[in-house]
Amino acid sequence: MTSAELPGSDRPQPAARAETERARAVLRVRPYRRMWRTQLLDGIGDRLGLLVLLMLTWTAAGENGVFGDTDRGLLLAVAAVFGVRLVGTVLFGAALLGPVAQLTHRLDRRWTLLGADALRVVLLALAPFWADWTSSQATIWLLVSVFLAAVAEWFAVVVRESTGPQLLPAADPGTSPLDQRPALRRIDRWTGYATVPLAAVVLAVVMVIENGLATGIGWLNDHQGALAAFAAVGIFLAAAVRLYPQSLPAAPAAALPPRSPLTGLRAPADTTLGLGPRGRTGSSVFFSFAVTGAVGAMAAFAGLALPHAYDLGAGPVGFALLVLAAAGCCRWPWAPPPSR
């Protein structure tokens, strides 16, 4: 059920159906569909990588006592992972979004995306070994990996957002492909959320396999989460293999400015429908805060799920199932059905 179909909704149902059909039509365009599948793989790899880095940082902090030898120190390690990720997201996804967009505008788009995948492959491939190489400094290096992975993700996001409209034909004769941006944002939101439960499924399956292999391979027993890190590496490599033969259009001479996630909180224009001030995107400021709170609650749940799973004796498999339960039982109201 979409938000338009909820009782008391002021939004007309035909408009919601039109948006869904437009999103389906966008996904039928072969060049865009190929890039979207790469985006889906990248998203799964990024979320899986974050969960793995969270587990590895938790383990390293517990072994080295970087934040203290108490349970509070372990919780601080979890908070540090999400804090570093948030810093990278805000810095390169909002504060420096303009310079990042200008830089990617000058670079080859395909090689920029491949470079972002390559960086994350290196980060995740090295992550299980930091405890062996640096001992007490492993936590610091893992936090650096979290930050660099966030930077790579935002470079890829900026490139994809600027490339997507150019892969589509004009919506109607005499219109610009840029008129398809609402449908693209709808697909991006759905894709970004769908990757969370998919990553949790991959983590649960891989950790079950790792637990079985660890009974005969001592190294896996000493490096819990290593196989999941290598699985994330494989996902990024698969995304890079799919992307490499695809030809992406060059950046136009006059590119539109990037759309910051914070634009919905700027310059109130009117107070229509009794929703209070509305930002430049047309979204209610209160709605923007509500979505931010929901995402923050999900991150907080994922952070608390890790120590809770270990307290229950369920380990990483239980952690993955808790994340799956939290993410899989919800569905964004704007999610379009899969393409036919």
DSSP per residue, 234-285: HHHHHHHHHHTTPPPPPPPSSPPPP--TTGGGSS----GGG---B-TTS-BH
Is residue 269 situated within a structural domain? Answer: no
How many Cβ atoms sit within 10 Å of the Cβ of residue 340?
6
Is residue 324 situated within a structural domain? Answer: no
* CA atoms within 13 A of residue 117's CA, in its CB half-sphere: 28
Number of domains in the chain: 1
pLDDT at position 307, please? 86
pLDDT at position 105, please? 87
Is residue 268 situated within a structural domain? Answer: no
pLDDT at position 53, please? 96
pLDDT at position 170, please? 60
Find the CATH number of the domain harbouring 163.
1.20.1250.20
State whether residue 20 is helix, strand or coil: helix
Distance between CA atoms of residues 30 and 169, nearest Å = 11
Is residue 300 situated within a structural domain? Answer: no
Residue 214 and residue 113 in contact, taking contact as beta carbons nearer than 8 Å: no
State the residue range of the domain holding 244.
26-170+177-249
pLDDT at position 332, please? 46
Is residue 5 situated within a structural domain? Answer: no
Is residue 239 situated within a structural domain? Answer: yes
Is residue 194 situated within a structural domain? Answer: yes
Distance between CA atoms of residues 338 and 332, nearest Å = 14
Residue 145 and residue 17 in contact, taking contact as beta carbons nearer than 8 Å: no
Residue 26 and residue 168 in contact, taking contact as beta carbons nearer than 8 Å: yes
Is residue 185 situated within a structural domain? Answer: yes
| pLDDT in 10s for each residue of the chain, 340 residues | 344 443 444 444 455 566 677 778 888 888 889 999 999 999 999 999 999 999 999 999 888 777 877 778 888 999 999 999 999 998 998 888 888 888 888 889 999 999 999 999 999 999 999 988 987 899 999 999 999 999 999 999 999 988 888 888 765 545 454 467 777 888 888 888 899 999 999 999 999 999 999 988 889 988 999 999 999 999 999 999 999 998 888 877 555 566 666 555 554 444 444 444 444 444 555 656 666 666 677 777 777 888 888 888 888 999 999 999 888 765 544 344 444 4
Tokens of 202: 């991959």
